[in-house]
A = this chain, B = another copy of it.
């Protein structure tokens, strides 16, 4: 087990009708005037935003509203939010929505405690940050409406500067939300495709941590990751036939939070190559993140498993229920990957690029362009990934396996 430091101070308030507690929670965390931030989409048109604003006002907290968040949340709206909060004297930010809205809210909360340009806080292409948070951001709460990104309790925030097409991140424990309200009923009306994409994203956050290239040493964290996998697979299957199943929704929602708050990464190094490769696929073809991960993850597994077959055998036998083939361990692993693809298909996810209407059959030139563009995070050898260091040639091979 590697040394680590981990903190996740976000209070989870989980269950039926819990969104009605939002006003009380904001007051409890010192808010007197709250910015309510959302995407102006279904959460607004279905009346949820207005219902929650009612609860906030009932608790004696004033409200300022700002909608308009888009997927890959934009810096311009963050600036607008900061200006609005300063003008109005806001002291609390509430995000109602999923990952994009939460990240936009986080960026506003960060900016509220910094005199300069909030963009200074985000990692530059040269890996340098111009300014680092040293005090907590403005208190931030979440009412979660989709289980997927884990941003409701994570320390990460991703913002896009649209004029330069720059997508950058800012990770700091000082901007973890103070509470996350998780009412599983709010996720019941999600389209099956979005539910499924969320399940894949949740699993992926723990895959990125589980497949760690070391021999043993992480019994407890291994088992925590496996808890996420089992939950996503068992409850994800239930939701295909019974999308209104409360317990299945609830378990997936809670698993989403723990899959990306850092718990499943304790004592090891994350990989995140699949995420980085998928970002390029999404960027090129505008496919949903979860669907892209359903395509890239199995291909990544097939390409890298030989680096440390033991951890793949652990997953194959404990999680995927494959009998260990002692004469031919490799077949055990390949069968487990095939079962994962079966599961993703059962959810209605694509598992090949050619199955995605947005992508189809693509040439090696396109694969190479995407591979070259993958953000190279390891400066020394210009590779991505920790389980196996991948260069652009490796990434092209993974795209071929995903074809």
Contact = CB atoms under 8 A, between A and B. Distances in A.
Contact of A267 (B7, B14, B227, B267): B14
Contacts of A329: none
Given A224-B224, A226-B227, A11 B6 contact: yes
Contact of A3 (B5, B14, B216, B227): B14
Given A219-B231, A227-B227, A5 B1 contact: no
Interface string A212-228: 00001111110110111
Contacts of A231: 219-220, 223
A18 B3 CA distance: 8
- Count of this chain's copies in the oligomeric assembly: 2
Interface string A235-266: 10000000000111011001100100000001
A30 interface: no
Contact of A11 (B5, B18, B226, B254): B5
A15 B10 contact: no
A4 B11 CA distance: 10
A315 to B, nearest CB: 14
A234 to B, nearest CB: 6
A13 interface: yes
A129 to B, nearest CB: 20
A310 to B, nearest CB: 15
Interface in A1-59: 1-18
Given A219-B251, A231-B220, A231-B223, A5 B12 contact: yes
A66 B283 CA distance: 60
Contact of A2 (B15, B221, B251, B255): B15
Contacts of A15: 1-4, 267
Contacts of A247: 1, 216-219
Interface residues of A, number: 44
A306 interface: no
A206 to B, nearest CB: 12
A86 interface: no
A8 B12 CA distance: 10
Contacts of A5: 11-14
Nearest to A181: B5
A230 interface: yes
Nearest to A14: B4
A181 to B, nearest CB: 10
B218 A251 contact: yes
Interface string A176-219: 00000000100000000000000000000000000000001111
B1 A250 contact: yes
Given A9-B7, A9-B9, A226-B227, A254 B14 contact: no
Contacts of A255: 220
Nearest to A234: B219
A11 B8 CA distance: 7
Contacts of A16: 3
A7 B1 contact: no
Of A1, A250, A266, the most chain B CB neighbours within 10 A belong to A1
Given A4-B15, A5-B13, A219-B247, 12 more contacts: A1-B184, A3-B16, A3-B17, A4-B12, A5-B12, A6-B14, A218-B247, A219-B230, A219-B234, A220-B231, A220-B251, A223-B226
19 contacts: A1-B184, A2-B15, A3-B14, A3-B17, A3-B18, A4-B14, A6-B11, A7-B9, A7-B12, A12-B266, A216-B247, A218-B251, A219-B230, A219-B231, A219-B248, A220-B258, A221-B254, A223-B223, A224-B224
Interface of A: 1-18, 184, 216-221, 223-224, 226-228, 230-231, 234-235, 246-248, 250-251, 254-255, 258, 266-267
